[in-house]
Amino acid sequence: YRWWDSSLPSSPQDEGVVKAGQIVSLNRWEAEAVRAGTASGPSGGASCCSLFDQMFNQLHKLDPKVLRRRDRAFKVKFVGEASDDYGGPYREAITNVCAELQSAASPLFVLCPNGQHGIGNNRSSFTVRPAAAGQEELQRFFFLGKLMGCALLQHELVLDLQLCPHVWKRLAAIDLSPPDLAEFDFAEFSSLRKLLHIEDEGVDQTSFADLIFNSFDIALSDGTRAELFEGGTSTPVTFTSRGRYCSMALDARLAEGAAQCSEMLAGLSTIVPNARLLSLMTEQELELLMCGEARVDVEALRSHVRYGAGVTPKQRHVRFLWQGLEGF
């Protein structure tokens, strides 16, 4: 990625602003209380919400130049915890935020249908929650884009985000195609394909109505239902209209998260103004650049290990160490 690194100095920086730095106070006790449903205090207060919201409340309205740093975008102070931020608390805070965004309570992301149903690829990956389309949610996607921009500027910062391939494709301006649906909802992809070619199963116009009870609406990744056109819920799918239904349903599913991804890319562009160059990457390259390598090469690690005096690779506790690492 030398070409990407060489493009970064072109990002405008106001040294007077950048050198000042920003301190973000995060209360992990309050965030955990919110997660557990035991929080008390004023609704919406910065000290009584998730870590992501606490970070959002303190940074979202700042000039993006404040976050446009090559070392770390801001310093972190954990309320009620003794810590000096020489990089550790900053990285830990980002890791905690990523974990929140990929929890069952996340208002922005949801485990993809493949993970919900235990079939297909990317079962541990998350996709944009379709219902998170209000103004407040879109502002948070915009802010998440800023954090993504920080990860692209800082080599030592990685975002522990397991997002579906189609999300990365949108961020890299790659057009989606029908097989992309199978990567996050294999069951729906298979269902639409079978419905489109249902005559191969011996179903004709006469028997179709007795077997298929679909209407022109569809379930999205978070379980919410969307009409494919006004009045679609009360319009049954027929043998002759099934092609139209499959086409509209496929388009609707592939359009999930389009607005939210646009906000993330817009936020990212405020930190990395040359973000248009991301379109030169594949989705895998963009994910690797932003999130790092997901797998650790144990053999490569083993080849660099040097044992101290009295320690050999054949000792029981050393063998247990390698067995544990290989099992991850």
231 shares a domain with 84: no
88 shares a domain with 153: yes
Residue 140 lies in a domain: yes
155 shares a domain with 86: yes
Local structure of 247: helix, strand or coil:
helix
Rg over alpha carbons for the chain, rounded to the nearest Å, is 24
Residue 308 lies in a domain: no
Residue 168 lies in a domain: yes
Give the pLDDT band of residue 324 (cuts 50, 70, 90). Answer: confident
Average pLDDT over residues 75-86: 80
234 shares a domain with 166: no
Contact criterion met (CB below 8 Å) for 62 and 10: no
CATH number at residue 10: 3.90.1750.10
104 shares a domain with 249: no
pTM higher than 0.75 for the full model?
yes
| Residue 136 reports pLDDT greater than 70 | yes
What is the residue range of 221's domain? 180-254
pLDDT of residue 40: 47
| Residue 113 reports pLDDT greater than 80 | yes
Residue 320 lies in a domain: no
Give the pLDDT band of residue 117 (cuts 50, 70, 90). Answer: very high
Give the pLDDT band of residue 111 (cuts 50, 70, 90). Answer: very high
280 shares a domain with 247: no
DSSP state of 221: T
219 shares a domain with 73: no
pLDDT of residue 46: 39
Burial 158-173 (b: 16+ CB within 10 A, else e): bbebbbbbbbbbbbbe
| Residue 304 reports pLDDT greater than 90 | no
For the chain, the maximum distance between any two Cα atoms, rounded to a whole number of angstroms, is: 82
Amino acid 296 reads V
Residue 135 lies in a domain: yes
pLDDT of residue 11: 47
Burial 224-249 (b: 16+ CB within 10 A, else e): eebebeeebeebebebeebeebbebb
Task: Give the ranges where the chain is alpha helix by DSSP (H).
Answer: 2-7, 15-18, 28-36, 51-59, 88-101, 113-117, 135-153, 165-171, 179-182, 186-196, 205-211, 242-254, 258-271, 283-291, 298-303, 316-326
CATH number at residue 198: 3.30.2160
pLDDT of residue 322: 83
Contact criterion met (CB below 8 Å) for 160 and 100: no
Tens digit of each residue's pLDDT (9 = 90 or more) over 171-200: 999 999 999 999 999 999 999 999 999 999
85 shares a domain with 26: yes
Residue 318 lies in a domain: no
Residue 165 lies in a domain: yes
Residue 325 lies in a domain: no
Cα 93 to its chain centre, rounded Å, is 17
Amino acid 210 reads D
Q: How many domains does the chain have?
A: 2
161 shares a domain with 184: no
150 shares a domain with 262: yes
208 shares a domain with 159: no
Cα 30 to its chain centre, rounded Å, is 24
What distance in Å separates the CA atoms of residue 91 and residue 155, rounded to the nearest whole number? Answer: 12
What distance in Å separates the CA atoms of residue 27 and residue 308, rounded to the nearest whole number? Answer: 41
Give the pLDDT band of residue 295 (cuts 50, 70, 90). Answer: confident
Average pLDDT over residues 77-105: 87
Share above pLDDT 70 across residues of the chain, in percent, rounded to a whole number: 89
- Chain mean pLDDT for the chain: 88
Tens digit of each residue's pLDDT (9 = 90 or more) over 1-54: 676 677 675 444 544 444 446 899 999 988 888 777 655 444 444 345 899 999
50, burial (CB in 10 Å: exposed 0-12, middle 13-18, buried 19+) = buried
Assigned token pair, 120: 């297909």
Cα 180 to its chain centre, rounded Å, is 16
126 shares a domain with 9: yes
Average pLDDT over residues 122-131: 97
Tens digit of each residue's pLDDT (9 = 90 or more) over 215-234: 999 999 999 999 999 999 99
